[in-house]
Structure 1
Amino acid sequence: MKFACACGNLIPDQTDYLSYAAHLIADQDLYDATAMSERGSSDWWPSLTRKLYQCDSCGRLWIEDRGRELRAFVPEEPAPHFLSSIHGDQWKRILRGEWRDERVIATLPRGFLGWAHLSEEDHATFDDWGLLERAYYDRFEELKKRGILRDAMLTKNGETVHSWGRA
């Protein structure tokens, strides 16, 4: 899903680990969610949570109502980005590297390296497998050493070359 904020900024929700998105559980539903989770049920997640987004440009909040329609709330003063992890820079992120010998689209690079990061560029593209592989292992070692890596996976033509953690 993608939607345009009233300020014109595009807000995409097409992946996980977004620093501008969150899930909201009403205080009235919190104990139901806890009880269902303790019983081993995951049914509570889609039924008791609503999505929440913050525009990176204007700070406007977009919250799903009970009917799953987005409603906007405008801050009275400039709003900081507060939907990112409570752990800040210590949030454990993921690392993904992907290579395709055959280009999916002629104008796109064959390799991609992405990591969910809060304070720097979070991806790079490659047209050389060796450079992608080296960059993946360098980033892997750096994030692992800093203790901020959740899981990692490197694939080449759909085959797993390396995985670590939950990947």
Structure 2
Amino acid sequence: MFKNAKQIEGTMHFLCPCGHVIRDQTDCLPYKARYVADQDYADLDRMTAEQIDNAYWDYHREMYQCQKCGRLFLEDQHSQQLLAFKPEDHDQVRALGSIRGREYKVSLEGNWYKMNETPGVLKWGDSGDLLGASERFDQWDDLQRRYFEIKDVLTRENRLRYAQLRGPSGLVDSLFVGQDE
């Protein structure tokens, strides 16, 4: 967690100076990336796969890009803060997305949390033209119905990477398609 970020209900988020809220609440975000300093890359390049797996969290840092103004936020490991950089031209605000661009398949996750005030949460990713979203539900049946609606659309459009639905009694549905199918 960065000193200049907040955490509410288990999700890290921070406010860009332009007013846009940047959230880190799931995987495969199109505005988040991990990077390794060039000076450290040489060390990683000499390691075995097992050594890299063990050292990964020590060497990588995170960066985010505001989807509204294009500002980049880079993790500074020494101060544990995010450093902001404003682009000269922010027409390209998707600099951190997948190299697959609009062909990147998205994830779909539904979870039912018994103890929360609004226990149902449904999230799906963003691949450029298919905007990601998060919806909340008070009723399990509504969450389950919406999950299968979105799963059906993403499957028909060949846009689904993986889907998982957890209900009051555990795992209800799980599908991993992958990126290259």
Q: Sequence identity, in percent?
A: 36
Q: How does 1:9-24 map to 2 (within 5 A)?
A: 9-24=20-35
- Counterpart for residue 129 of structure 1: 140
Secondary structure, counterpart of 1:142 in structure 2: helix
Q: Structure 2 unaligned runs (5+)?
A: 1-11
Q: TM-score, normalised by structure 1?
A: 0.78
- The size of the alignment, in residue pairs, is 162
Q: Do the aligned residues in 1 keep the contact of 2:74 with 2:83 (CA within 8 Å)?
A: yes
Residue 22 of structure 1, CA deviation? 0.7
CA contact (8 A) 1:59 1:80 kept: yes
Aligned counterpart, 1:159: 170
Tell me, yes or no, if structure 1 residue 91 matches structure 2 residue 104: yes
Q: Which moved more, 1:121-130 or 1:90-99?
A: 121-130
- Say what the alpha-carbon RMSD is for the aligned residues: 2.6
Whether the 8 Å CA contact 1:36–1:42 is kept in 2: the answer is no
Closer/same/farther in 2, CA of residues 145 and 55 from structure 1, 3 Å limit:
same
Matches of 1:131 and 1:66, distance apart in 2 = 42
Aligned-residue offset at 1:140:
1.8
**CA–CA separation in structure 2 for the residues paired with 1:154 and 1:66:** 35
Which range moved further: 127-136 or 86-95? 127-136
1:78 paired to 2:90? yes
What letter corresponds to residue 59 of structure 1 in structure 2? Answer: G
TM-score, normalised to structure 2, is 0.73
Change (3 A) 1:58 1:117: closer
**SS of residue in 2 equivalent to 1:113:** strand
